[in-house]
Structure 1
Amino acid sequence: MAKGMDTAKQVLLAGCSAGGLTALLNCDNFRARFPPEVPVKCLSDAGFFLDVKDSSGERFMRSIFSGVVHLQNVRKALPKDCLAKKEPTEVGNVVAPGGSDPGQSWASCKADIRNCTSTQIEALNGFREKIVEDLKVAQHKRGWGLFTDSCFNHCQTPFRIT
């Protein structure tokens, strides 16, 4: 705030991937730093993480998050009521992460959706249905807004691809 944000007329907190998740998690706290008349928006690009099994039938990303939780010892900083319901590693974010696709059976599909098999398209559609279902939490929230697209890319905002 001391570097000029205290005089901002409008504000955007944005992030991509893990940064997008951070934008979601910190949006309310960030908003509270500004007077009510200052419009504050938060943009999460590829930062909505689903806890679903990936293409291998496992939750590969949980092992990644487990390493972060233990390395940074974040368990003690997390809300106790949340920890009563879930483990801090209960998150996954991709259908076919590299670690769960050692045979590279998804490589061609990930490079170009036109190369996907019917089974892979079915898996992607299932992932889409899960995202749509989980986003319904915002359906009747006054003042909330969501924009989702079906672009087959991870993190679009830093690139001129759309």
Structure 2
Amino acid sequence: MKRIWIYQADRILSQEESTQISDELMAFAEQWKVHGKPLSASAELRDGLFVILKVDEEIAAASGCSIDSSVRFLKGIESKYNIQLFDRMQFAYKSEHGIAVVNRDGFEKLLAEGIINDDTLVFDNTITQEHQMENAWAVPFHSSWHKRLFK
């Protein structure tokens, strides 16, 4: 089973940034280790917004030190590209124009205006298994954890 970690940028990245970050992610995944042994890992940037790290835990699971190294790597990406990847109060949702990202206050305003409603698909970046990406990553607002924040 593949364990995943999803990090979301606070803005949609340019094509040039996306290409560069994708290359850096692939290079990181190729050398990512646990206790000196290579992990069966992959990494991707999806939609110019989501960094997704994957580890096949049937081969070897990531541990504290290897997870720390991924956080250090991603902190470097943040600094280099002037983005935030660890701010969980940035919300991504599907709009009529594609995927959009907004902070908590902006999300609340869009809810009040009816631009976001119970049927709007929002991204749950807390999922931890690859198989969940198919039907538990983008879910209607009414059935998401986000709903609890905006009663």
**TM-score of the superposition, structure 1-length normalised?**
0.30
Tell me which protein shows more helix as a share of its residues: 1
| Bigger Rg, which one | 1
**TM-score of the superposition, structure 2-length normalised?**
0.31
Tell me which protein shows more strand as a share of its residues: 2
